Amino acid sequence: MSPAARRATIIDVAERAGVSRQTVSRAMNDQPGISAATRERVLRAARELSYRPSRFGRGLVEQGPVTLGLVVLDLSNSYYAELGAAMARACAPAGWNMVLVEVGNTPDPEVAAAELARRVDSLVGYGVLGGEISGDVGMPVVRLDGRPSETDRGGVVELAPAAAIAELADHLREAGTRRPLVLDLVGGPLADRPLALAAALRSLHEDGEVPIWEVEARTGHRAVLEEALASGADALLAFNDELAVRLLRTLREMGVDVPGDVRLVGADGLEIGSLVSPELTTLSIDIDEVARQTVSLVAAMLEGGAPLTGDGAHRVVPYRLEVRASA
């Protein structure tokens, strides 16, 4: 019974104002059929009790909007931040709400995701939904940038770079590139994309093999770049745009001309790539399209139009090669 012990309910307000719950409801929701005086009295009582209607009680009877939970690793990474923004935008037309959760610094990401799963109507994750969570429980679960084989555990929106990478290979070949070099981020296993890049560019490398070097995300770039240039590299393929932009800056500080001395290619297609000079050539993914496809897949799952797992729960969004000044 202590003041903060229990949140006030509609009944507390009704008692205090000396009216029925109905009347309180009418007052709180600006509904007609209530005298101004009564309304005032009710609102005062509500204020005095710090009463806030429970969104659960309300949702129960009103059928709230579909809520989509988005789980990402690290929102300070602008790629994920843009994804979150894109998803929110894609949810809006359908009247859906999106709950955004970052689990990168959580002790147990899986637990955090499972907890969120209980609070939403569908779960979308990017690189963070392990095996535990799946469409088993009847809830749509979608993995972004998942592999086709993962459809047994839920929906998958695949980001397919193959065509764009092939196009890039052609582009670099025509440009006379003979010693491309892939720069991956250290930590974690070799990512798919760098591997695919190296494989696709093999045919145009003098040595018949494209080296993959690992670099820190934010430091030590100068030494690596000096070594790379000394090795004769004439095209650098960065893991993502953020790394590419950092490399670009370091190259400029070193007095190296891009693309004159060395070509530079990023990946992701973040806005930042078009704000630097020279503008970044990049393997670009249309993040808004990814978001739209995801929402449409989830919607189909909710309506029963798409299965929760299997081939029918699979969408593909291709990368595009965005040729700009840097390569």
Partner DNA sequence: GTGAAAGCGCTAACAG
Partner DNA sequence: CTGTTAGCGCTTTCAC
Q: Which of 50, 54, 76, 105 binds DNA (CB under 7 A)?
A: 54
Q: Residues 137 to 176: which contact a second copy by CB under 8 A?
A: 137-139
236 HSE (CA, 13 A, CB side):
36
What does the alpha-carbon distance between residue 248 and residue 216 come to, in Å, rounded to a whole number?
A: 15
Q: What's the closest the beta carbon of residue 117 comes to DNA, in angstroms?
A: 12
* Reduced 3-state DSSP string for 177-241: CCCEEEEEECCCCCCHHHHHHHHHHHHHCCCCCCCEEEECCCCCHHHHHHHHHHCCCCEEEECCH
Backbone angles phi, psi at 157, to 5 degrees: -110, 110
Q: Decide if residue 38 touches DNA (CB under 7 A).
A: yes
Minimum gap (Å) between residue 308 Cβ and a second copy: 9
Among 5, 32, 37, 56, binds a second copy (CB under 8 A): 56
Query: At closest approach, how far in Å is the CB of 134 from DNA?
Result: 18
Selected binder of a second copy within 119, 163, 261, 316 (CB under 8 A)? 119
The verdict on 1 binding DNA (CB under 7 A) reads no
Q: Is 222 in the site for a second copy (CB under 8 A)?
A: no
Alpha-carbon distance of 168 to 199, in angstroms, equals 12
Tell me the backbone φ, ψ of residue 93, rounded to 5 degrees.
-60, -35
Q: Is residue 209 a contact point for a second copy (CB under 8 A)? A: no
Distances (CA, A) of 158 to 13, 27, 161, 192, 224: 52, 50, 9, 12, 32
Say which entry of DNA, a second copy, none residue 22 contacts (CB below 5 to 8 A, set by partner kind): DNA
Rg (CA), the chain: 27
Rounded to whole angstroms, how far apart are CA atoms 261 and 56?
62
> Which positions touch a second copy (CB under 8 A)?
3-4, 28, 43, 46-47, 50-60, 64-65, 67, 75-76, 78, 80-82, 84-86, 88-89, 92, 97-102, 105-106, 116, 118-121, 136-139, 242, 245-246, 249, 252-253, 271-272, 275-277, 303-304
Residues that bind DNA (CB under 7 A): 6-7, 9-11, 18-26, 28-29, 31-35, 37-39, 51-54, 56-58, 60-62
